[in-house]
Structure formats: structure tokens, C-alpha cells
Amino acid sequence: MEKILDRFLRYVAIDTMSDPDSPTQPSTNKQYNLLTLLCEELRQMGVEDVTVDKYGYLMATIPSNIDKDVPAVGFIAHVDSSPDASGTDIKPQIFENYDGGDIVINKDKGMKLSPSEFPELRKYIGQTIVTTDGTTLLGADDKAGVAEIMCAAEYIMTHPEFKHGEIKIGFTPDEEIGRGVDYFDVEKFGAKYAYTMDGGQIGELEYENFNAAGAKISIQGRNIHPGYAKDKMLNAILLASELNDMLPVWQRPEHTQGYEGFFHIVKFSGVVEEATIQYIIRDHDSELFEQKKKLLQQCVDFMNAKYGEGIFTLEMKDQYYNMRKEVEPHYHIVETAVKAMEMAGIEVDIRPIRGGTDGARLSFMGLPCPNIFAGGHNFHGKFEYVPVQSMEKATEVILNILKIYAE
């Protein structure tokens, strides 16, 4: 079998960054480069019914090889990488037998992974760690999950003695921009239950996530020659800053944890004449989520009352909801994942997702879908890294889940 590191490195070499400003599905054609490769690799393994549709969904089936009736179980990962940092020309670095000290990822820029800033590193002493070179993200979110599912598929196809029920494999585009399952056909996929391999560090298991919305605020300023601007100019840049200052500072991502929600400004562009600011709004509690959306609307209304109707225009859209209420009626799928991790000698850490996955929306579409660790850290940025042994353990968890269902 191919080593998971080699498979992972092959996948991250392919730029699959999604684009939130693109109206197409998938948002970028380059995501097909990885999807096509995965399709070919699955077919070479002998996996059946491998298809990639016009929306960028890869689906495949490994038939059951046991006589008993067990539910079809799916494993899902997304192929796109986040637009928060460059995914072009990724140059992974491999640090074997990590000694517990600083890992210099870019000497010229003075960039390093230090346990003093990233204490989770201490868990991986003696292991092999893959990092960026400090100029791009790594893409472990979620190419680690893709590699884990592919390694599990290869093991199953090369070990006919491994007993399992029907297995469904799904790879999706555009998860990072909240459109990962907009056109996902749950009935065609055919799984009764599924797991996304899209979590963080080893041991994480999640079945509740943020309620999420995205907001875009357009601000129409009025540009007047600064020498004659008194009582006439409306500087859209300053208006945007004023609105942002109205939102509670303690509800920013850098000041929240656990179940605490936030307002996160993710993009600003503007000149004196006009400006645009974009936010994501998150909260696990549905009532607090609605309060946050209401507060943003009140801020916009206040600014329009102060400066003139129509100066501020708000577009706000819900993106996904907390999957807990959809998963809890099928809690045995969480218990199965717990047992599968324990069989692999992993300490289980059940926690709320401070984000979202395709599984959140799929759960509301009739496919209960908890989220299992993929093994990476510091997603969406240049300090992203993944221990190879965590990816190996994630593959083991997939196989253990199938063993449990086949028993």
C-alpha cells in the first residue's frame, strides 16, 4: 500500500482554492484537477460506481462483502482549500522525529512553530510533522481527510478478508466558502449514516457546530475635494470603521472559546466614495445567533438614521445550522466513533466545532453526519501543520468504524 504521507503530498501539490466571489459551482475549475485524479485512483483500486458530476461531487461505492444486513456508511471530505491564504505552489516541509523544540518553517521571514505559542506541538514529540514553508497554507484542511479516506479504501480493496458492509465515499468542493453541499444528492449518495473526516487534532469528535450567517455591508460615501469638504464629505472608510466599533469587542474570535459565539470581520475594501465590509456571524445557541443578527441590523439602521437612509445596505444570509438536534436522535453513530477511536488507542475529545462542516448541512438534509479528526492544526494559514501519525490513526478509525458496523 502507498504510504499516507506520499498520498497526502501528492494531493496538496494540486491547487484547489475555492472562490467566494465566483457564482459557479464548483467555484473554481481547478478543483476538478484533484477530483479527476481521485476518480482515476479509485477506479484503479477497483472501486465501483465512481462518478464526478457537473457540480463537482465525487461519489463512489464499495459493495458489502458480508451476508448480514448492515446500514451503508459514508465517509466524506472536501477537496477545496481555504481562500484565507494562498494555496498555489505549496512546498511542504517534513520534520522527522520532532524533538519538542522550535520548528523553523521560514528562516528568511523568521517564522517558526514554537511550543510556547502552539503548545499542542508537545503531543507530537518523536513523530513526523509536515508544515508549510511559510508562504502558503498546507491544505491539510481537508486533504488530510481525503488522503485518509483514500488510504482506507486502498486497504479494503487490497484486503478482501476485511469484512464490511456497503461503503459510500464522497468528496465535495467549496466547503470552505459554505457551499459544499448546495447540490449534494443525499439519495444518490445512498448512505444511511456518514462521517466527515474534517476535524482538527487527533481525538477530536464533533456532533455540534455553530449556527452561521454571512453578512455584506455596502457603504455609499460622498467624496468632496478635501480642501472644500467641511460638512459635505462622507468618508466611507471612516463610516465602515464606525460601524465596526459598534459591535462588541469581547465577541470577536480572538476573545472567545468553547460555546461562545462571535462577529468576525473577514474582508474590507474601500475608498472615500464607497466601501464594503464582510462579516461571518457564529453562535452555537440558536437564540443568541438570532440576537447577533438582529444587533448587526440595528447597527446598520442606526447608521442610516445618523447619516441618511440608504448610505448603508446590509445583505445577510444564513449559511448553516447546529447539527446537534439532527444527530442526537441517532446518537449511536457518535458512540460508534468513540469506540472506534478507543480501539485505536486514541483518547477521545468530544467538543463543539467552532466552525462548520459539510456534515452540519448534510445532517439537516437527512444524512446524520458527525465530524472526525483529520489530524491537522492551525488551518487556513501559513502556520498549518499535520503530524503523519495522526493521519495514520484517522485511517485506522475509519476501518474500525466499518468493523463495528459489520459485527
What's the rounded Cα separation, in Å, for the pair 399 and 403? 6
Q: How far apart are CA 298 and CA 368, in angstroms?
A: 36
Do 136 and 381 form a contact (C-beta atoms < 8 A)? no
Q: How many CB atoms lie within 10 A of CB 348?
A: 16
Burial-class residue 329 by CB neighbours within 10 Å (0-12, 13-18, 19+).
exposed
Q: How far apart are CA 392 and CA 398, in angstroms?
A: 10
How far apart (Å, rounded) are the C-alpha atoms in residues 280 and 267?
A: 10
Q: d(Cα 359, Cα 356) in Å, to the nearest integer?
A: 8
β partners of residue 264: 280
Q: Would you name the residues annotated as active-site residues?
A: 80, 175
List Cα–Cα distances, 227 to 230, 232, 237, 274, 307, in angstroms.
8, 11, 18, 19, 21
Please tell me the distance from the alpha carbon of residue 314 to that of residue 60, in angstroms, as a whole number. 41
User: Residue 388 in contact with residue 129, Cβ under 8 Å?
Assistant: yes
User: CA end-to-end span of the chain, whole Å?
Assistant: 25
